[in-house]
Amino acid sequence: MNKLFATAFAAFVSISSFAQTVDEIVDKHIAALGGADKLKSVNTLYIERSLSVQGMEIPSTSTMVVNKAVRSESTVMGNSMVQAYDGTSAWMVRPTMMGGTGEPEDMPAEQAKQLKGQLDPFGPLFNYKEKGNKVELVGKEKVDKKDNYHLKVTSATGDVVDQYIDATTYLLTKTKASANGVEVEISFSDYKDVDGIKFAYSMDMVNQMGNLAFITNKIKINPPVDAAVFKKPK
């Protein structure tokens, strides 16, 4: 009986420690980014990036009101491509070479869902309990020969994303998720400090279409933003 009690008690302690470990990892991750207070102080963002795909360099800009609205614009072979969400509806402009009309049009629901995912620049671990997200520690794994904590994050809507946190820096190394049944993997590196907050300046995306490399050139925190840029032109 004593042996059975000891085994049950050890299991209880193990489970309790496991739960505490998840919060400890998340807390250290948020601290590594700059701290909760710093992240909460970000209301708007402006980001300039370049996308490298099949030998082409595609410049893009993103303007965001955190958790409210976003607009991304890129130039493809001299043609402008726009994706935007104004807090209520999503729209886009696709050049004719990409199957569009070159005029503003409503965005399909699944694509709009992915765009709205960009409204949260610091990811699902930040304030995860308030967001209704569930975080589980899968274990420790190697990513590029470095120890990483593998966290499984399930959103309030049931979407699942795997996040890999460097066990030394506590910065995000990689994410894995499925979009429309296709697994997408994104690697993050070259973190730089912008006004006390760490941002990954290099992102590499791998899916069934191939590899996409995003390089960030400039980030502005809390610049003035005209709400009109998010509205679909009439």
pLDDT-derived band at 228 (thresholds 50, 70, 90) equals: very high
CATH of the domain at 82: 2.50.20.10
8 A C-beta contact, residue 209 and residue 183 = no
Query: Does 78 have pLDDT greater than 90?
Result: no
Would the pLDDT of 15 be above 50?
no
Tally the domains of the chain: 1
pLDDT of residue 208: 67
pLDDT at position 234? 83
Tokens 């049944």 -> residue: 181
Handedness of CA 158, 178, 52, 111 (dihedral sign): negative
Please say if the pLDDT value at position 162 is more than 50: yes
Mean pLDDT, to the nearest integer, of 157-173?
95
CB 203 within 8 A of CB 62: no
Range of the domain at 195: 2-230
84-96 pLDDT, tens digit per residue, is: 999 999 999 988 7
- Per-residue model confidence as pLDDT tens digits over 107-127: 998 889 889 888 999 999 999
For tokens 């965005």, the residue is 107
Q: Which of 119, 114, 135 has its CA nearest to residue 184?
A: 114
Are 51 and 58 within 8 A, CB to CB? yes
Nearest to 74 by CA among 52, 55, 54: 52
Is the Cβ–Cβ distance between 207 and 195 less than 8 Å?
Answer: no
